[in-house]
A and B are shown apart, each in its own frame.
Chain A
Amino acid sequence: EIVMTQSPVTLSVSPGERATLSCRASQSVSSKLAWYQQKPGQAPRLLIYGASIRATGIPARFSGSGSGTEFTLTISILQSEDFAVYYCQQYNHWITFGQGTRLEIK
């Protein structure tokens, strides 16, 4: 099983600033990496797939990068609605999720 490790567990950032979230795979997943956002009481929402492709309707302030084992989700100018939990997911070999990063208001 491919283990996905996200860091940090919690990230405190002020609105208007940049947030950088990391995801590491225990073995190469090529570019088969997706990011999801989950707000309290809601289902997850697809943000990014193919490591860097924004899903339909996702604002340009969300960007993804990386390949192999190291990936990054960057939110360039944080809006109030961006504070949530973010999960990475590999789909190179079946499906596994990271444990999540909670993005909170500083």
Chain B
Amino acid sequence: EVQLVESGGGSVQPGRSLRLSCAASGFTFDDYAMHWVRQAPGKGLEWVSGISSNTNNRGYADSVKGRFTISRDNAKNSLYLQMNSLRAEDMALYYCVKDIGSNMVATILDYWGQGTLVTVSS
């Protein structure tokens, strides 16, 4: 059974940093691209970032480009999101999501974690 368990969320002040982690199990992690998708309270879904299985290809939404960095450790079956210079508009539930493929050519999101909540407030 595919499991994606996020951690690292919490409450931070604007301008500070936070690192999210996602522990994956139940599938061959290094065969698949992975993503972060967020959902602000009561709002819709927003793709944040993705990384290919071999880490050669990474992408970011314009809203986070230059502030967030996605990475993965295939030996540890883990996905990360380093979030710097956090803003109030970054406040959301952050989902770790598995891609149906390896290289983000066709990003279909077939398994989702339960999310970790990031609150940005002074």
Contact = CB atoms under 8 A, between A and B. Distances in A.
Interface of A: 1, 32, 34, 36, 38, 43-46, 49, 55, 87, 89, 91, 94-100
A70 B110 CA distance: 23
Contacts of B46: 97
Contacts of A91: 106-108
The 4 closest A-B pairs by CB, nearest first: A43-B112, A95-B47, A91-B107, A97-B45
B47 A1 contact: no
Interface of B: 35, 44-47, 50, 59, 62, 95, 100, 106-110, 112-115
A65 B45 CA distance: 22
B44 A98 contact: yes
B110 A95 contact: no
Contact of B44 (A43, A49, A97): A97
A44 B44 contact: no
A18 B44 CA distance: 24
A89 to B, nearest CB: 7
B94 to A, nearest CB: 11
22 contacts: A32-B106, A34-B108, A34-B109, A38-B45, A43-B95, A43-B113, A44-B45, A44-B95, A44-B109, A46-B108, A46-B110, A55-B110, A89-B109, A91-B108, A94-B47, A94-B59, A94-B107, A95-B35, A95-B50, A95-B107, A96-B47, A100-B45
B44 A46 contact: no
Contacts of B62: 1
Contacts of B44: 87, 97-100
A91 B11 CA distance: 32
A46 B95 CA distance: 14
A89 B45 CA distance: 9
Nearest to B46: A97
Contact of A97 (B47, B106, B108, B112): B47
Nearest to A44: B112
A13 to B, nearest CB: 21
